[in-house]
Amino acid sequence: MKELEDRILADGQVIGNNILKVDAFLNHQIDPEFILRIGAELARRFKDEGVNKVLTVEASGIAVAMAAALALKSPVVFAKKKQALTQEGDVYAAPVFSFTRKEHLEITVARDYLSAGDVVLIIDDFLAHGEALNGLISLVEQAGAKLAGAGIVIEKRFQHGGDAIRKRGVRVEALAAIEQMKPGEVLFAVDEAEVAK
């Protein structure tokens, strides 16, 4: 998605060689119209999969998941990082390590909101090592639901989480795929299908 790549170059900030700060439009301050376009594009890529649930993890994935779900006319379910007192009864749970926060978490979803009859599209803001995505996939598997795939806003390919998940047979669609980055420079992957056009 060229508009997203341009926005990353204009408003993103590379910290070290592996952290991309996009707080100006995605992770802290949200540009609603832009997020709606991102969600619509992710929904377009999975429109023929029969998706009836969109799944993400709190908090940064929620805005994009809602935008995609709006286009797909389906509800959003978000995994919680801490089980709330209001979240009674059985839950699906999966361990996740957050590299950004340097902490181990257990993400949970109430069993009422994911079931074997669901076709689930996972949406997340970033894919790096694949920890969050693997946790979300585990929740879908525990529910016995069908996984349509994963729609990712930004994939950091050089951290190889996406490679391992694709090897498992999971369809992963990233709107911006970064091959390499360092302060002042972001190199995007070239989409072979686009080159062939």
Q: What is the CATH number of the domain that holds 39?
A: 3.40.50.2020
Q: Helices 32-45 and 2-11: crossing angle, nearest 10°?
A: 140
| pLDDT band at residue 97 under the 50/70/90 scheme | confident
For 92, the domain range is 2-196
What per-residue confidence (pLDDT) applies to 196? 41
Which tokens sit at 175? 């709107």
Q: How many domains does the chain have?
A: 1
Model pTM score: 0.92
- Strands (DSSP E) found in 1-142: 13-15, 19-21, 53-57, 76-79, 91-98, 103-110, 119-127
CB hemisphere CA count around 132 (13 angstroms)? 28
Dihedral, 142, 148, 154, 155 alpha carbons, nearest 10: 70
